[in-house]
Structure 1
């Protein structure tokens, strides 16, 4: 569907043919593309058949939409040893209420230290580990995140900057962050900082441990007032982007708000856990700010990065009737203390593939000196209207920074958080 230069096709095809001729693993650095995917699918990488590593939707992205995958050696993701200790300390305490789906008796760490890949009912446990466990960070502040909104036919559509902050008030490794009443699960803030005509647009969301629908507050810049929104706004589209509010960083909803969760099984895929993409926010604006995106060739949204074999848990999520999505197929990393949500497929009400979300991670050091996975960039691709949103995190973003206060994430804090 989208053409590459003759030289690029020749080089990439040669990589595939070389691997075929040797009968060995494809070498590290080999790039899988539309030009050589048929040859590469006959090869192995790190002893695994490449045909078994590539998801059907990934293959479609390669063949029809120009996705390229540079093969990289798999390596372990470092995690905070305090997370392991806290999880083991409270192992077996947390449970899911069979009537309401609410997480109960959660005391800290990951809610569930053990997942049975053969038990479909454990799908909700995978989702709870991702949402309520502090595996990513207790508290974070990206000020800002950079959005490249892309028209698949024309190129860069617009650029946005948003501030994103999250404060875990329940289950955090640092006990000082805990809500004294034990009612609040977490605070989140998403505020637009650029362009100026939308500056200040955004919301503060408060989620509760009893899984009631969240409190959502918006800042109305024209009157300089904070207004409460409908609690159903948690699943609304995020202004002008291809994301819904419950999809930031992969998923952002209490699992009990969904109709059902099913653990389908376990398999190996190619995913990005050690991204080599580096983002420099000081470089210009517009196309100059995003040199890692292939903006010159349709569909103008592809980023070349390092993909490695990762074992994943496959979960199918079914939202409630009013949701814009009929079902989601999710691929969570099977490494217990780093349940990264690498790849998602969103299906519309006709059960046709609508969008793909690809979360890409890198290893990073947090402000408190610990190491763990952080997001490098997130791509959301609307295949029906040929549009994409690529989100790059601020490399100076703060994780587990000192003196974090819950009061910085409340509705009253919105005016000062815009700065």
Structure 2
């Protein structure tokens, strides 16, 4: 009888909670002070507790994360991107023996992935590797790396230049492939501020094969370029909290990871259409970067708007030599970009949380493409964060840029 009474009490409490649930509106916030009360409230038909991962709940409750709700918007994908995906549908095949994709031309290789496909997770990762909706050229004249400590707040900042040229899967171009087809992309990045690192740079050539990428770094101390080991993809970027592998959350050839597992599909609050002013170059102090809550400890929480999106949840298991044991990725079901990831150490303990705020912009050829307006890599064991802030001069498909503009000689030229 006592057990039956307890069940009745719990049922009544649940009914009362549901009856008192509110439909939240854009602009409403979810924070530590109201998290418990808003668990059964809804937004756009989804209960709040269903829109937050357990990790996000913990960050709200214990780490000061505040989520401001925004109405969801249809995602605008590039016409060239959509056309290439449609034109090449069904051509790509996944080979489970080699773990490679055969027959990919351009666009999303696997458009209709289903949860019951035993290779679903691998296919989704390959989608992200080959077909992020970013056009043929990523041209970022300025982006900042901010180094943030829980104790002291913003420690220092760096400003870098980034240029990536895609040699394969080119959209809306006369040639879908440039060169002999062995190279997927070429990337040039170098520091422009502060003066003590100005000229420090990196050139990376990524192959369309499991072959490790070729990387060269320019060292100011000897005024020479040096070739890096093939394992540089797993190394930290400078003194940051971000590995090369963490750029855009996942920056590795899919076969370099040991395995993938699809954990499911769900709805999640993410930043799909960033509305925040990320970098106010006319301001100073904390006001220069209004997209970060620098004024309040732990000083690294994002300040943007969040909307519901349906995502795939993918577990990516690393190779033994990797610093992490695994990453858990939250990738949009409509296009292959991840918004959030969790990284775990070799003991299986939570280590880092990665959050990217996405935004659609007009490209240099009048189409649309997607950029990461911000990228947060937060090390909760070290109590330190590295935040990527993209300048408002970011461009995609800049007219006039050619493959030969992204090479080792260019790194040496700009670094002197």
TM-score (norm 1): 0.91
* 1:211 Cα offset (Å): 2.3
Q: Secondary structure at the match of 1:241?
A: coil
Determine the C-alpha separation between the residues in 2 that align with 1:74 and 1:122: 26
Determine the C-alpha separation between the residues in 2 that align with 1:262 and 1:20: 34
Q: Which residue of 1 aligns with 2:64?
A: 66
Q: Give 2:112's match in structure 1, choosing from 106, 111, 114.
A: 114
CA distance 1:286–1:103, change in 2 (3 Å): farther
CA deviations on 1:377-411 (whole Å, 9 max, x unpaired) are 11111001111111111111121111221112211
Asked whether 1:359 is paired with 2:356, we answer yes
Q: Which residue of 2 aligns with 1:156?
A: 154
Determine the C-alpha separation between the residues in 2 that align with 1:349 and 1:114: 34
CA distance 1:20–1:379, change in 2 (3 Å): farther
Between 84-93 and 281-290, the greater mean CA deviation after superposition: 281-290
* 1:372 Cα offset (Å): 3.1
CA deviations on 1:162-217 (whole Å, 9 max, x unpaired) are 22221111112024473220110111123222221122223111111122110111
Determine the C-alpha separation between the residues in 1 that align with 2:287 and 2:412: 30
Asked whether 1:341 is paired with 2:349, we answer no
Determine the C-alpha separation between the residues in 1 that align with 2:355 and 2:247: 11
Between 164-173 and 276-285, the greater mean CA deviation after superposition: 276-285
CA deviations on 1:287-344 (whole Å, 9 max, x unpaired) are 3422332222110112321111100011110110000010000000011xx3221110
Q: Which residue of 2 aligns with 1:92?
A: 90
CA distance 1:376–1:121, change in 2 (3 Å): same
Determine the C-alpha separation between the residues in 2 that align with 1:172 and 1:211: 20
Determine the C-alpha separation between the residues in 1 that align with 2:97 and 2:118: 17
Residues 242 and 388 of structure 1 are in contact (CA less than 8 Å); yes or no, is this contact kept in structure 2? Answer: yes
Asked whether 1:40 is paired with 2:38, we answer yes
Q: Secondary structure at the match of 2:143?
A: strand
Asked whether 1:54 is paired with 2:52, we answer yes
CA deviations on 1:345-365 (whole Å, 9 max, x unpaired) are 000000000000001112211
Q: Which residue of 2 aligns with 1:278?
A: 277
Residues 120 and 264 of structure 1 are in contact (CA less than 8 Å); yes or no, is this contact kept in structure 2? Answer: no
CA distance 1:25–1:122, change in 2 (3 Å): same
Pair member with larger Rg: 2
Between 397-406 and 88-97, the greater mean CA deviation after superposition: 88-97
Q: Give 1:415's match in structure 2, choosing from 391, 409, 412.
A: 412
* 1:99 Cα offset (Å): 2.7
Q: Which residue of 1 aligns with 2:224?
A: 225
Q: Secondary structure at the match of 2:135?
A: coil
Between 151-160 and 119-128, the greater mean CA deviation after superposition: 119-128
* 1:135 Cα offset (Å): 1.2
Q: Mind listing any 5+ residue stretches in structure 1 that lack a counterpart?
A: 1-18
* 1:103 Cα offset (Å): 2.4
Asked whether 1:205 is paired with 2:223, we answer no
Residues 291 and 304 of structure 2 are in contact (CA less than 8 Å); yes or no, is this contact kept in structure 1? Answer: no
CA distance 1:101–1:287, change in 2 (3 Å): same
Q: Give 1:401's match in structure 2, choosing from 380, 392, 398.
A: 398
Residues 83 and 134 of structure 1 are in contact (CA less than 8 Å); yes or no, is this contact kept in structure 2? Answer: no
CA deviations on 1:62-94 (whole Å, 9 max, x unpaired) are 111111111111111100122122112211221
Asked whether 1:382 is paired with 2:364, we answer no
Determine the C-alpha separation between the residues in 1 that align with 2:398 and 2:209: 27
Residues 169 and 187 of structure 1 are in contact (CA less than 8 Å); yes or no, is this contact kept in structure 2? Answer: yes
Determine the C-alpha separation between the residues in 2 that align with 1:75 and 1:119: 29
Determine the C-alpha separation between the residues in 1 that align with 2:182 and 2:388: 31
How does 1:163-242 map onto structure 2 within 5 Å? 163-173=161-171, 174-176=173-175, 178-242=177-241
Between 248-257 and 111-120, the greater mean CA deviation after superposition: 111-120
TM-score (norm 2): 0.91
Q: Secondary structure at the match of 2:127?
A: helix
* 1:284 Cα offset (Å): 4.7
Between 277-286 and 210-219, the greater mean CA deviation after superposition: 277-286
Determine the C-alpha separation between the residues in 1 that align with 2:414 and 2:152: 34
Q: Which residue of 1 aligns with 2:145?
A: 147
Aligned length: 399
* 1:280 Cα offset (Å): 3.7
Between 284-293 and 220-229, the greater mean CA deviation after superposition: 284-293
Between 55-64 and 286-295, the greater mean CA deviation after superposition: 286-295
* 1:119 Cα offset (Å): 2.6
Q: Which residue of 1 aligns with 2:260?
A: 261
* 1:286 Cα offset (Å): 4.7
CA distance 1:264–1:383, change in 2 (3 Å): same
Determine the C-alpha separation between the residues in 1 that align with 2:364 and 2:415: 22
CA distance 1:259–1:204, change in 2 (3 Å): same
Between 371-380 and 171-180, the greater mean CA deviation after superposition: 171-180
Q: Secondary structure at the match of 1:246?
A: helix
